[in-house]
């Protein structure tokens, strides 16, 4: 069984056929899915969905794209949501995106720090988004510290040196569809250097489908393609290594396998 550690199943892209999407995921051996908020409203929707489905969990947080909308009331609501249900297992996604810069950089930095602090205070792991901002993200994490509950560098896109620094900070590394692309750049090297107990996989659906589905909507049923590629790079049997990565996620999120 696999754990999809990063999905956005409450997004409008899935509104028309979510039961079928979840059915295909389960049939493909995806035993757990984490649907991740990117705004206050999105975090509310993520939790509402997780409350309805036994194999879904939620993360609450404000994405760097939406950082400009993070008011005091927004942080308060995230905290309330996180403490309202055992289905909220992480704070995310949070971080820095200097590729699209949809919110000013100073605002992104402040909102990232505030949510790291929130995670620390409520004892939950963090899910970090980092695009074209590796130096700054590592600087913030180094200065503030990763919460004791740990965290994941999601959709890892850095090089071996960035990976080593993430591992030193105590983060897990999550691989998404790009590890299956012919131009996977540094990712094969990153998979090889990371210890087995520090790797997880994700779809980041509806975005970033693995190679055979590029250009289409991504969904959790495609996770086995990414997991198989990671296992292959690691030189490990696909099923056993997929299960190993699911165990890593379950341990981080404090979920008891059923
Ligand atoms: Zn992201
Ligand atoms: Zn995401």
pLDDT at position 258 over 80: no
Report residue 45 CA to chain centroid gap. Answer: 17
Q: What value does the mean pLDDT take over residues 136-163?
A: 97
Whether residue 194 has pLDDT greater than 90:
yes
Ligand nearest to the CA of 6: 2
Mean pLDDT of 124-149: 97
Two structure tokens written together for 17 = 């056929």
Exposed e or buried b per residue across 178-208, where buried means at least 16 C-beta atoms within 10 angstroms of its C-beta: bbbeeebebbeebbeebeeebbbbbbbbbbb
Tell me how far the alpha carbon of residue 237 lies from the centroid of ligand 2, in angstroms: 28
- Give the strand order in the sheet containing 199-201: 2-7, 30-36, 56-60, 88-97, 126-131, 151-153, 171-175, 199-201
| Angstrom distance (rounded) from CA 247 to CA 253 | 10
* Structure confidence at residue 82 (pLDDT): 97
Tell whether pTM > 0.85: yes
- Report CA(249)–ligand 1 centroid distance (Å): 17
> Within 13 Å of residue 23, how many CA atoms lie on the same side as its CB?
4
pLDDT tens-place string over residues 208-225: 999 999 999 999 999 999
What digits encode the pLDDT tens for the residues 135-145?
999 999 999 99
Q: Mean pLDDT over residues 41-48, rounded?
A: 98
**Nearest-ligand number for the alpha carbon of 157:** 1
At 30, give phi and psi (nearest 5°): -90, 110
Model pLDDT, residue 22 = 98
Token pair listed for 161: 């040196």
The mean per-residue pLDDT over the stretch 114-133 comes to: 97
> How far away, in angstroms, is 207 Cα from ligand 2 center?
8
Percent of the chain with pLDDT over 90: 98
Domain ranges of the chain: 2-253
Q: pLDDT at position 257, please?
A: 77
Q: Looking at the CA of 36, which ligand is closest?
A: 2
Task: Please provide the DSSP assignment of 54-80 as one string.
Answer: TTEEEEE---GGGGGG--HHHHHHHHH
pLDDT value of residue 242: 98
Confidence of residue 21 (pLDDT cuts 50, 70, 90): very high
- Residue 129 CA to ligand 1 center (angstroms) comes to 4
> Structure tokens of 4?
């999809």
161 in Cβ contact with 128 (< 8 Å)? no
Average pLDDT, the chain: 97
Give the whole-number percent of the chain exceeding pLDDT 70.
100
| Per-residue confidence (pLDDT) for residue 209, from 0 to 100 | 98
For 2-253, CATH number out of 3.40.50.300, 3.20.20.140, 3.40.640.10, 1.10.340.30 equals: 3.20.20.140
pLDDT digits 0-9 by tens, 54-107? 999 999 999 999 999 999 999 999 999 999 999 999 999 999 999 999 999 999
Q: Give residue 165's pLDDT.
A: 98
Could you say which ligand is closest to the alpha carbon of residue 202?
2
Q: How far is the CA of 258 from the centre of ligand 1 (A)?
A: 28
Q: What is the Å distance from ligand 2's center to 40 Cα?
A: 14
For the record, the structure tokens of 82 come out as 């996180």
Residue 168 CA, ligand 2 centroid: distance in Å: 23
């Amino acid at each position: 069984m696999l754990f999809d550690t990063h999905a956005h199943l409450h997004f409008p892209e899935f509104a028309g056929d979510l039961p079928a999407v979840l059915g295909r995921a389960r049939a493909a051996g995806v035993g757990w899915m984490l649907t991740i908020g990117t705004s206050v409203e999105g975090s509310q929707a993520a939790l509402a969905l997780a409350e309805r489905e036994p194999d879904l969990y939620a993360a609450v947080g404000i994405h760097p794209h939406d950082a400009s909308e993070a008011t005091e009331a927004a942080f308060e609501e995230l905290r309330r949501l996180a403490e309202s249900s055992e289905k909220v297992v992480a704070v995310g996604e949070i971080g820095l995106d200097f590729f699209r810069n949809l919110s000013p950089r100073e605002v992104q930095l402040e909102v990232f720090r505030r949510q790291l602090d929130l995670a620390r205070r409520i004892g939950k792991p963090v899910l970090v988004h980092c695009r074209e901002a590796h130096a700054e993200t590592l600087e913030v994490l180094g200065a503030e510290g990763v919460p004791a509950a740990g965290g994941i560098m999601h959709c890892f896109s850095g090089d071996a040196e960035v990976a080593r620094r993430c591992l030193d900070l105590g983060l897990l590394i999550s691989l998404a569809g790009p590890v299956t692309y012919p131009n996977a750049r540094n990712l094969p090297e990153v998979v090889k250097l990371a210890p087995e107990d520090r790797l997880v996989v994700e779809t980041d659906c509806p975005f970033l489908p693995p190679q055979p589905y590029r250009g289409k909507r991504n969904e959790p049923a495609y996770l086995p393609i990414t997991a198989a590629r990671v296992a292959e790079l690691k030189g490990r049997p696909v099923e056993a290594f997929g299960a190993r990565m699911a165990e890593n996620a379950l341990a981080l999120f404090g979920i008891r396998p059923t």
